[in-house]
Amino acid sequence: MRSRWRPLIGGYALFGYAFLYMPIVILVVYSFNESRLVTVWGGFSTKWYGELLGNERILQAAWLSVRIAAVSATGAVLLGTAAAIVLVRFGRFRGRGVFNGLLLAPLVMPDVIIGLSLLLLFVWLQSQIGWPAGRSGLTVGIAHITVGVAYTTVMIRARLSQLGRDLDDAAADLGAPPWRGFVEVTLPLLAPALAAGWLLSFTLSLDDLVVASFVSGPGSSTLPIVVFSSVRLGVSPQINALATVMVVVVALIVLLVGLSMRQSSRRPPEGAD
Amino acid sequence: MTRVLGCLAVLMPPYVWMVTFFALPIIVVFAISLSDAVVGIPPYAPLVDWSSARFLGDVENYTFLLGDAYYLDGFLGSIRIAAVATFICFLIGYPMALAISRVRPTRRLPLLLLLMLPFWTSFLIRTYAWITLLNSNGIINNALLNLGLRETPILMLYTDFSVYLGIVYAYLPFMVLPIYAVIERHDLGLLEAAADLGAKPFRSFLSVTLPLSIPGIAAGCLLVFVPALGEFVVPELLGGSDFLMIGRLLWTETFQNRDWPLAATVTIVLLVLVVATVVSVQRIVDMRERPL
């Protein structure tokens, strides 16, 4: 792809990026709009940020969402690490295919299927064994762990299969039991994948509307559920302000992760490229 | 012995978790799809009459669903919209992936991060942003009216167009990333060889780059088509009130009509569609990987 085609493809890509960013830019710009009418520019103002800070319902939902996301990301990383060890280190065993399929299936499962099936499971379990008692943050957390495990398993497995077993063998030769070799040798090397997996599950949980709507109870409306119910009633400048806050936070995190990735990719000059 | 116990301690938590919260729910959904709705808690009839040990389930929900024009429209409409949106994603996404893979290596990571960044911000809020843009008194229409390009606003929101736009917008990165991952590994020497043999750039693209990127295209199409098939947020926010898609049917049956057995039936049919898609895409990829 040289010469004539190059500017064409470059322009095309530019168009693609513009398409991806235009709505976000508009949201951010209009969050500083004085006018209540979202589409008419009425001068610069930060009053919607003030109103956002005073909106109990959104703040409470945000706090609940952050807690659910943190707990479910942690759960997903723990289970995903165990699953990755099984898939990479245990060799072949009966049922490995089923295990692998169960772990990866949520990646290609529409949210509505996961949401409804968990709702029916929870209701059925409650009628059979009395647990879980109604739907709450707990059931949302369980649902988010189930989705998150698929992502963390993929990420941690990729890293673990790059590591090889030499270091574990060395630890074993020095007399360390397998768990100790894992904790002191493998785990630190897995850290970047664990962190990336945690962040991804955290974001997915924080962002999830559909699954949470099915499995949350009356007292456990997460942030997306509250945002959705207010967006359904029409556009609201407060939501623009909220969106801007989220975009800025995410951009900062991605920037930091990107910079650290760049540094670590520069450090070891491995072989000739 | 302790080794076996140790292995089991690692294996069991994820296994038990996924069986309980992923496999079992689907079995429960299938069972309930054979039941009937009743008013009560839980809102479905028991499947087995224990006093006479008779099985009470039937496939009535399935025959109803497949014979009803309303639901059939919803299913066919979803398939059409997901397929067209996937194709549009491919048309926009492929050149993007190609462009990213052809810039200097140091510039690729920032470009990829820029591609992922929207994905990390709320999907709901990004979809909502389009309402502001597309509305009849929205930003695009206001601009057109003020510039005197149009006398009346263009109807864009709550149409098929806005639904396609929303889905393409939401899933475009899922098309670009797998294609990029495949193209990036290509041996550029192949293109030089094609050029040495006298092929024009476009020709060598058609006979070298494109065929080699088919696994990436297949993965990208899968990652766009499947979630689009069950999409709820986009048709709900950007589609008209009579705009039918499977995700919306399911939502209405669950929350408004509270007909859980029918919602379960819709879920099972959607699940069959998803599995069929995954299996056939896998077939295509396998076929290409077989040596000729």
Domain count along chain B:
1
> Is the peptide bond prior to A132 cis by the omega test (within 30 degrees of 0)?
yes
**3-state class of B49 per DSSP?**
strand
Judge whether B124 and A231 are in contact, CB under 8 Å.
Answer: yes
Q: What is the pLDDT of residue A112?
A: 95
Domain coverage including residue B88: 82-242
For residue B6, tell me if it sits in a domain: no
Residues A227 and A214 both lie in one domain: no
Burial label, A163 (beta-carbon count in 10 A; 0-12, 13-18, 19+): middle
pLDDT digits (tens, 9 = 90+) for B71-114: 999 999 999 999 999 999 999 999 999 989 888 888 888 888 88
pLDDT (mean) for A43-69: 91
What ipTM was reported for this prediction?
A: 0.90
Q: Is A60 left (phi over 0), alpha (psi -120 to 50) or beta?
A: alpha
The number of folded domains in chain A is: 2
Q: Do A116 and A161 fall within a single domain? A: yes
pTM for the predicted model, two decimal places: 0.90
Handedness of CA A216, A218, A221, A224 (dihedral sign): positive
Residues B216-235, mean pLDDT to the nearest whole number:
94
| Cα–Cα distance measured from residue A151 to residue A203, given in angstroms and rounded to the nearest whole number | 12
The Cα angle at residue B275 between residues A112 and A138, in degrees rounded to 5: 35
B198 pLDDT band, cuts 50/70/90, is confident
Task: Decide if A271 is inside a domain.
Answer: no
Residues A217 and A139 both lie in one domain = yes
Q: What is the pLDDT of residue B292?
A: 46
Q: Are residues A146 and A187 in the same domain?
A: yes
Q: What is the pLDDT of residue B286?
A: 80
Is A179 at the interface with chain B, CB within 8 A? yes
- pLDDT at B17 > cutoff 90: yes
Q: Mean pLDDT score of chain B, rounded to an integer?
A: 88
Mind listing the pLDDT tens digit for each residue in A139-179? 999 999 999 999 999 999 999 988 878 888 888 888 888 78
Asked if residue B21 has pLDDT above 70, the reply is yes
Residues A213 and A78 in one domain: yes
A197 lies in a domain? Answer: yes
Nearest to A178 among B6, B18, B263 (CB): B6
Burial A216-252 (b: 16+ CB within 10 A, else e): bbeebbbbbbbbbebbeeebbbbbbbbbbebbeebee
More confidently predicted of A240 and A10: A240
Burial class (CB in 10 A: 0-12, 13-18, 19+), B114: middle
Helix (H) or strand (E) holding A141: helix A137-163
DSSP E strand boundaries for chain B: 48-49, 54-55
- Chain centre to alpha carbon of residue A105: 17
Say if B156 falls within a structural domain: yes
In a domain, A127, yes or no: yes
Same domain, A129 and A27: no
Residue B232 lies in a domain: yes
Of A1, A24, A127, the CB nearest to B118: A24
CATH no. for residue B179?
A: 1.10.3720.10
Q: What is the mean pLDDT of residues B203-219?
A: 86
Q: Which residues of A touch B99 (CB under 8 A)?
A: 9-10, 12-13
Burial (CB < 10 A; 0-12, 13-18, 19+), residue A47, is middle
Contact B121 A250 (CB under 8 A): yes
Q: What pLDDT score was predicted for residue A266?
A: 58
A-B C-beta contacts closer than 8 Å: 238
One domain, residues A35 and A95: no
Range of the domain at A103: 67-221
Position B122 scores a pLDDT of 83
Residues A43 and A91 in one domain: no
Task: Determine the average pLDDT of the residues in B247-273.
Answer: 93
Band of residue B242 on the pLDDT scale cut at 50, 70, 90: confident
Contacting residues of A for B254, CB less than 8 Å apart: 116, 119, 214
- Is B42's CB within 8 Å of A5's CB? no
A187 shares a domain with A78: yes
B17 part of a folded domain: no
Higher-pLDDT residue of B244 and B48 is B244
A20, B115: Cβ pair inside 8 Å?
yes
